Amino acid sequence: MPAGPARVLRVLVVDDEPLVRVGLRVILDAEPDIEVVGEAADGADVPGAVEATRPDVVLLDVRMPRVDGIAATRAIVARAPAPRVLVMTTFENDDHVLDALRAGAHGFLLKRTRPEDLAQAVRVVAHGESLLFPDAVRRIATAHPARGDALRSARLTEREGDVLRLMATGRSNQEIAGELFLGVETVRTHVGNLLAKLGVRDRTQAVVAAYESGFVRPSP
């Protein structure tokens, strides 16, 4: 029996600069499996746009004049079901990125990202994975002193701690499994357990918590 056509990913683009929105639409609409279903110019317009277009992914500028991407992210993830959120920034060391990740964004990318990498980022986030650039997160963490060992009360097992440290380097479950000589399903179980213990939504927030608590130290 022949396979049916692949599902087209629906994307909502949010940026206060019209030229940026047009560019993003052109890039993404050129992909056979991605469709831009709507645009918004400010975070204040996001709840209505999400309701109207039902996107799989919201591609969201982190800095906007009225309601920024951080507040917009909070509004998006409060929905049920919520689309995935991918925030965009101009600068790698943008403090707003860390706040957006804390608020529930599933990843971030730079506005100078290559077109093919932009499309792939949308696919990664849409399919339930978190898009994390370890070097960029380390740079952000370096600029923000640790806020105490918040992970102490989580009582992670030694193996869960090993998994979290490798997650912080950007490794996938399969890569973690190979490094720790575990099955991929075992790694998934450890990831699920540590997310529950940390009280976070996904691995991106877990990595942010690991850096902020000092559990993982930025490399010099």
pLDDT per position as a tens digit, 39-65: 999 989 999 999 999 999 999 998 888
pLDDT at position 73 over 80:
yes
Asked whether the predicted pLDDT for residue 201 surpasses 50, the reply is: yes
Higher-pLDDT residue of 133, 175: 175
Give me the sheet containing 34-40, strands edge to edge.
34-40, 9-14, 57-61, 84-89, 107-110
Q: Residue 1: what pLDDT?
A: 43
- Could you give the 3-state DSSP secondary structure of residue 154? helix
| Per-residue pLDDT tens over the stretch 111-162 | 888 888 899 889 988 887 666 665 666 666 556 655 556 677 788 999 999 9
pLDDT at 69 over 60: yes
State the DSSP string of 45-100: GHHHHHHHH--SEEEEES--SSS-HHHHHHHHHTSSSPPEEEEEES-TT-HHHHHH
Question: Which residues sit opposite 89 in a β-bridge?
Answer: 110
Question: Residue 103 has what pLDDT?
Answer: 84
pTM (predicted TM-score): 0.77
Q: How many other CB atoms are found less than 10 A from the CB of residue 58? A: 30
- Yes or no: say if 73 and 101 are a contact pair by the CB < 8 Å rule: no
95 close to 139: Cβ distance less than 8 angstroms: no
Question: Phi and psi for 122 in degrees, rounded to 5?
Answer: -60, -45
**Do residues 33 and 6 make contact, with C-beta atoms less than 8 angstroms apart?**
yes
Q: Is the pLDDT of residue 110 over 50?
A: yes
